[in-house]
Structure 1
Amino acid sequence: MKKYSLTIILFFCVSLTVLAGQPSWSKKMSKAVFTLKTFSADGELLGSSSGFFVGEHGEAISSYAPFKNAAKAVAIDNAGKEWDVEKILGANETYDVIKFRVAIKKSPSVEFAAAKPAVNSNCWILSYKGSMSMVQAKLQKMESFNTDYTYYTMSLRSSLDLVGCPLLDDNGKVLGVMQPMNSDGDTLAYAVAATFANQLKMTGLSLNDPALRAVHIKKAIPDDLNQAQLMLLIAGSHDSLTYTSVISDFLKQFPKEPDGYVSRAQLAYSHGRFEDAMHDINMAYELSPQPNYLYQKGTILFAQNKYAEAYDLYQSLFDSPIRSAELFYMASQCKAKQNDSIAQQALLDSCLAQFSRPLLKEAAPYLLVRAQVRLNANRYRDAVVDLNDYEQLMKSQLNDNFYYIRYQAEVGGRLFQQALNDIEKAIELAPQNEFYYAEKASLLVRVGMYDDAITTSKTLVQLQPTYSDGYLFLGLAQCLKGEKTDGIENLQKAKELGDTQAESFIQKYK
């Protein structure tokens, strides 16, 4: 029994130590392994690990943990040469693996094992930390995960830091990527299937992946066009630097696709670089003559104050598949800038005609615009109709200003009772606004409701004693009611407070 135990001890001492007699394939495989170092944005070393190339164009895999919060990473090969990590290709924090591309023209890559090894078979761990080392271990257990991949457990006692190193079978083919040990004294080592790390890739949603967002190194564009287009869309909600980078990479990867030019045009437009925006939208239209690109070109022309040209573009789209309320609205804005109110109103009519009744909330902004245009054109009752429709759509979101605008339209249309109702509603919503009390008092005087005018004017005087309108309408209502002495006295106060109308009323009723 003692002899057997001694045999086991000797086996571990030999097999788990850095071996002098290495397998014949070790020299070739050693070229694919490198030391990895990661750094923060200010250059501070964050972590170190091993990694290895899995492709001929710098594709490599390693441990994810050192990349967390890293802004830069370098791979140091066995000749001591440093290569920057230029792009992240995918990551999985749960299994602590990451795939990336190193800025190297041609890289020596490993070969993946075609078949699973047997339990209790020998395996090798290839490490490079300044010098190359080979560590032998024995497979103790293999477990399946994600259906197609294997998680390896090995018997191992080694002081070497093997995280990120390749786990190889007896033929030098890669099985897995070494994982951290559970504790310093642990006699077991673990590896996740290298094929799992190798299949990691960027998708359209990768920019929102917490694991990838924690890595501040440039992310690759997905190879699939649909996924790349989705990433381009999502990048628009990220910071400007990320968005600019994604657009640039998309254009390099898909130079014949219009989406990249459209996105770059929109970004240039948002920064006021209209000439650049125009160039890119023209490029997009050349690649794919879609009407919505002409619409965007019209928007750029509008921003450049080229209203006639913008209108011509919009007009050319009236019978196109993108005929819409927004299209007619923008055309109406061109006419407004050209001071053509007749054409502006006609185009707003066409804008609202794009909606069927009952109206939906999408029509509300256009109703409000047309109401204001009609009000300015003295089409008071038409303006009231629009404002009534707007009220029905936006009832829970109305403020005092809305009721004041409709009050003005109703007064102009001689809809006095409705006007009184609306100015009272405005007062209810803004009870400290003295201007609304003055408007109400003025209307009450106009329609001959003198007692109500006196009450409203007194409230206004109490609210704002230095506001001349309170005394003006109080005095005027009193004079009209026959209370000339009190009325003239209040008109005199209005005059003293600077009201220019008060003197004429004093002379009239004195």
Structure 2
Amino acid sequence: MKKFSFSIILFFCFSFTVLAGQPSWTKKMSKAVFTLKTFSADGELLGSTSGFFVGEHGEAISSYAPFKNAAKAVAIDESGKEWEVEKILGANETYDVIKFRVTIKKSQSVELATANPALNSPCWILPYKGAKSLVQTKILKTETFNTDYTYFTMSLQSPLDLVGCPLVDESGKVLGLIQPKNSEGDTLAYAVGAAFAEQLKLTGLGLNDPALRAVHIKKAIPDDLNQAQLMLLMAGAQDSLTFATVISDFLTQFPKEPDGYVSRAQQSYSYGHFDEALQDINRAYELSPQPNYLYQKGTILFAQDKYAEAYDLYQSLFDSSVRSADLFFMASQCKAKLNDSIAQQALLDSCVAQFSRPLLKEAAPYLLVRAQVRLQANRFRDAVADLNDYEQLMKSQLNDNFYYIRYQAEVGGRLFQQALNDIEKAIELAPQNEFYYAEKASLLVRVGMYDDAITTSKALIQLQPDYSDGYLFLGLSQCLKGEKAEGIANLQKAKELGDTQAEGFIQKYK
């Protein structure tokens, strides 16, 4: 009994000695330190470390490494309560630090030191629940990095895992964040300046930062509006979920800025949710009456088949800052949908007129559309002129279909030699397309080049023996050349293969 009492006395004496030797700030600061666990998307534990709060609303810093590939992280405070990491505020993989915010409403934060202590000054490392395990050390070396920040080297022989814990000076102010040792058994400890970790923040380009992309937890929107707008722009190139998340956060943070509504309108439009898109673009225009928002509204109205409304909106912008080839083109499309081909052609003329000569490639799509519209309106030579300009701009990217379209325009405009050149070019690019041979043979017959028509027709028959056009044009050419017996025999073959014109020619030439 006496021995047991003596042990109790020794225990209390020892405890008193440890507590009496601790700095006065230990208990308060212990509330700012937490242990942290990270998890993959399927719930697997990835890693754990320590960290501490640097702000009163859950802002905290810790080691970056455990966050790599993490989809979830929780901070566990001194009392054992878990707080989920809500948003990443910044990260630097080189110095193994990350800043984030947890879902706690109010947090006990540390105070950062504004000056470094002298070398060999005593300092402490405060572990999670560290009131009874405070580790004393001393500064052996300081190095400056990134101009304004300090990297600390200390003596240390503690067996505790102290990575992510705060390095604290005699006054209770935090100097740094403890980093991993260089090797097992290392008697030195290292800390990156806490001020460096605390100042980390996301920029507009943050979504493309490899260190941040490797963390699959939501990223915060930058506080600076310009940077937030840049992030919103960059998010458009990310997956749709990331884009939607950034839009939502931007609108929460900047509800009076039109950019968030415009981005959401664009995403709604891409999903075919036109009513929602229209509502958001109207809201953006209310906040900032810019012509380009009206232009986007016109695009939404067009998608809703409200062509007259869309045209009126486009027309109101003809003399605005958004006057462009695309504006006139969209207006022409409205008129096409309203079956007003005269207005459509006039608007396409205005569209192409937005480009000066020599033309650049940007004009090519509009030239091609106008050529096709002119072709449909029987303005054949005008269509050829547009297609000639298009050819000059897109020479290396032309296919057989282009030459066939121009061939049609040239035939309509009675430019027969040019038409023959183009149908031959189409055959050169698509030598197995029997339709082109038939078109060539037909034109050769029309211009009286019967020998060439016979040669082309025979080539067509060799390519496709069951294609009636080969026999039709061969027979017709032979009849016109005076070889009626052979010609009628080939016309008869065309008839047997189902050609409905052959019988009329047989009756004419027999």
Q: Under TM normalisation by the shorter chain, which class is it?
A: over 0.9
What do residues 189-224 of structure 1 show as CA deviations (whole Å, max 9, x unaligned)?
Answer: 110000000110000000000000000000000011
Q: 2:7 aligns to what? A: none
Query: Contact 2:19/2:132 (CA < 8 Å) preserved in 1?
Result: no
1:129 positional shift: 5.9
What do residues 484-503 of structure 1 show as CA deviations (whole Å, max 9, x unaligned)?
Answer: 11111111111111111111
Structure 1 consecutive aligned stretches of length 4 or more whose deviation exceeds 2 Å: 18-21, 129-133
**Are 2:194 and 1:194 equivalent residues in the alignment?**
yes
Please list every run of 5 or more consecutive structure 2 residues that lacks an aligned counterpart in the other structure.
1-13
Q: 1:396 aligns to what? A: 396
Query: Contact 1:35/1:76 (CA < 8 Å) preserved in 2?
Result: yes
Structure-2 separation of matches of 1:260 and 1:494: 66
TM-score by length of 1: 0.96
Q: 1:438 aligns to what? A: 438
What do residues 207-247 of structure 1 show as CA deviations (whole Å, max 9, x unaligned)?
Answer: 00000000000000001100000000000000011000000
Structure-2 separation of matches of 1:290 and 1:232: 19
Q: 2:62 aligns to what? A: 62
Query: Contact 2:91/2:211 (CA < 8 Å) preserved in 1?
Result: yes
Q: 1:478 aligns to what? A: 478
Query: Contact 1:30/1:132 (CA < 8 Å) preserved in 2?
Result: no
Query: Contact 1:78/1:131 (CA < 8 Å) preserved in 2?
Result: no
Structure-1 separation of matches of 2:147 and 2:341: 68
Structure-1 separation of matches of 2:193 and 2:281: 46
1:450 positional shift: 0.3
Please list every run of 5 or more consecutive structure 1 residues that lacks an aligned counterpart in the other structure.
1-13
Structure-2 separation of matches of 1:41 and 1:130: 31
Q: 2:242 aligns to what? A: 242
Q: 2:406 aligns to what? A: 406
Structure-2 separation of matches of 1:161 and 1:388: 75
1:95-106, aligned counterparts within 5 Å?
Answer: 95-106=95-106
Query: Contact 1:19/1:133 (CA < 8 Å) preserved in 2?
Result: no
Query: Contact 1:91/1:98 (CA < 8 Å) preserved in 2?
Result: yes
Q: 1:45 aligns to what? A: 45
What do residues 274-300 of structure 1 show as CA deviations (whole Å, max 9, x unaligned)?
Answer: 000000000000000000000001100
**Are 2:165 and 1:170 equivalent residues in the alignment?**
no
1:128 alignment partner, SS class: coil
Q: 2:91 aligns to what? A: 91
Query: Contact 2:468/2:493 (CA < 8 Å) preserved in 1?
Result: yes
Q: 1:211 aligns to what? A: 211
Q: 1:205 corresponds to which letter in structure 2?
A: L
2:38 alignment partner, SS class: strand
Query: Contact 1:372/1:383 (CA < 8 Å) preserved in 2?
Result: yes
1:21 positional shift: 3.1
TM-score by length of 2: 0.96
Structure-1 separation of matches of 2:430 and 2:20: 89
**Are 2:490 and 1:466 equivalent residues in the alignment?**
no
Q: 1:496 aligns to what? A: 496
What do residues 399-437 of structure 1 show as CA deviations (whole Å, max 9, x unaligned)?
Answer: 000000000000000000000000000001111111000
Q: 2:8 aligns to what? A: none
Structure-2 separation of matches of 1:198 and 1:497: 84
1:460 alignment partner, SS class: helix
Q: 1:282 corresponds to which letter in structure 2?
A: N
Structure-1 separation of matches of 2:309 and 2:155: 76
Query: Contact 2:30/2:129 (CA < 8 Å) preserved in 1?
Result: no
1:186 positional shift: 0.8
Structure-2 separation of matches of 1:19 and 1:180: 28
1:118 positional shift: 1.0
- Structure 1 residues 20 and 422: alpha-carbon distance in aligned structure 2, compared to 1, 3 A threshold: farther
Structure-1 separation of matches of 2:20 and 2:99: 31
What do residues 306-334 of structure 1 show as CA deviations (whole Å, max 9, x unaligned)?
Answer: 00000000000011111111000000000
Query: Contact 1:33/1:52 (CA < 8 Å) preserved in 2?
Result: yes
Equivalenced residue count is: 494
Structure-2 separation of matches of 1:21 and 1:425: 95
Q: 1:342 aligns to what? A: 342
Identity %: 86
